Amino acid sequence: MGFTKTEKIWFNGSFVNWDEAQVHVLAHGLHYGTGVFEGMRCYPTADGPAVFRLDAHMERFYKSAEVYELPNTENAVLPRRNNVLGYLGSLVTGVLAMAAAVIAFRGRGERE
């Protein structure tokens, strides 16, 4: 199952062009599977996009990241949540529902 290409995608704390979102071939998460994800569904509502049980999804994501000792995950994701929801809102208009995922994994071992 493939993904539908969009103009922008969330990557490392900001929206970038789809083709610019790249992970280094030596990323630890790629080689050893050291990462976590949380999939969720987003639905259009009269008040804008709504992720079903968003708080429960994010709590589970943060706890999983803590188990893997992924540093600073909550501080990196939480403040940007409204930016992501706003962008999802622009995509969800006229769509019955969509899936979204939050992913965190170890990189090459240095800050990029």
Q: Give the 3-state secondary structure of the chain.
A: CCCCCCCEEEECCEEEEHHHCCCCCCCHHHHHCCEEEEEEEEEEECCEEEECCHHHHHHHHHHHHHHCCCCCHHHHHHHHHHHHHHHHHHHHCCCCCEEEEEEEECCCCCCC
- Parallel, antiparallel, or unpaired for β 48-51 and 14-17? unpaired
Q: How far apart are CA 104 and CA 65, in angstroms?
A: 7
Q: Choose among 37, 6, 4, 19: nearest CA to 105.
A: 37
The pLDDT tens digits for 12-62 are 777 889 999 898 888 888 888 888 988 888 887 887 777 888 888 888 888
Q: Are 45 and 68 in contact (CB under 8 A)?
A: no
The structure's pTM equals: 0.69
Domain ranges of the chain: 36-105
Question: What's the rounded mean pLDDT across residues 82-109?
Answer: 68
33 Ramachandran zone, left/alpha/beta (phi>0; psi -120 to 50): left
The pLDDT tens digits for 67-95 are 888 877 666 665 556 566 666 655 555 56
* Residue that has been written with the tokens 């708080």 in this structure: 55
Residue 4 has pLDDT above 50, yes or no: yes
